[in-house]
Amino acid sequence: MTQTDWIALDASQPQALAWQMREDRAEGPGLPVGAEDLAGLAGDGGLILACGLLQGIAAPPAPRTVPAPPLPGRIAVQDWQAARLACVPGLRGEGPALMTGAETRVAGFLALNPGWDGVICLPAEETHWVHVSAGEVVSFVSALAGPLDRLAAQSAPGPWDEALFLEAMERTRSRPETLMAGLARIRAAERLGEAAPGAGRAQILGLRIGADMAAARAWWLGQPVAVIAPRDAAGPWNAAFAAQGVPAIQADAMAMTLAGLAGARARLG
């Protein structure tokens, strides 16, 4: 990496991404990095500011308990090999529930949308449904959804069929107990060669999103909703909320991560 002010690191994804930062602006796209790359990212004495579960550090920050602002008032900096490292602590809720990285995206969204109250949906390996009010995370609930997303990605490729998606979504939104049998029917149709190209992906995502929405109905029903997701994953979620008459605000996950880390940088101490 070239000379930079600091390194923003998102370690909440299956593949960690790092950005060279000048003040609060990324100098280029995020670059995939491994643990062996981290020491040389910022150079001697340079700053790495991370969100997510970063492995191999001596004193990872303990998650904070909600209700709480998405970022703490102060974020500690520690020496790490030749660099300086600061990690945004995650949040924990009842259940228990845990988010590591999503809190930073929530912080970025609230920084760009001051005064916004409602529920933020953050679909990823785990979907987090986050109730925010007066600048705080009041509560959240999570669903482990990554395996179903990967199952959808493994289906036979083909054009997106929104009608099939919405039909499957409505089935599990209204009757979430049909999820597992629905998945079995989709796999059987593909093995028998009776599924149209792209049908499996649309149906699996529909079943997955409908069940997710059913489980979190108490969070989003009757609330303003925002969806923080990668651009290529946002479309089905927006369609699902639109089908319920819910106009969801769309925010790009990468942009919210960088905005949140920029806000965290002002809290280093």
Q: What is the pLDDT of residues 222-252, one digit of tens each?
A: 999 999 999 889 999 999 999 999 999 999 9
Res 1: pLDDT: 43
Residue 260's nearest CA partner among 88, 81, 60, 68 is 88
Domains plus CATH for the chain?
143-251 (3.30.420.310)
216 SS3 class: coil
For the chain, the maximum distance between any two Cα atoms, rounded to a whole number of angstroms, is 61
Q: What is the pLDDT of residues 44-66, one digit of tens each?
A: 788 999 999 887 776 789 999 99
Q: Phi and psi of 82, rounded to 5°?
A: -95, -5
**119: which strand partners?**
131, 225
Q: At what angle do helices 253-265 and 102-112 cross, to 10 degrees?
A: 90
For 114-127, what is the mean pLDDT?
A: 97
Task: Write the pLDDT tens digit of every residue in 206-220.
Answer: 999 999 999 999 999
Tokens at 211, concatenated: 């069940």
pLDDT tens profile 75-116: 999 988 788 999 999 999 999 999 999 999 999 999 999 999
SS3 of 117, please?
coil
Q: What is the mean pLDDT of the chain?
A: 93
Strands (E), 188-254: 225-229, 249-252
**Token pair of 107, please?**
């912080």
Name the pLDDT band for 3 (thresholds 50, 70, 90). low
> Which residues fall within 8 angstroms of residue 167, CB to CB, at 6 or more apart?
203, 206
Using only C-alpha atoms, what is the Rg of the chain? 20
- Kindly report the pTM of this predicted structure: 0.93
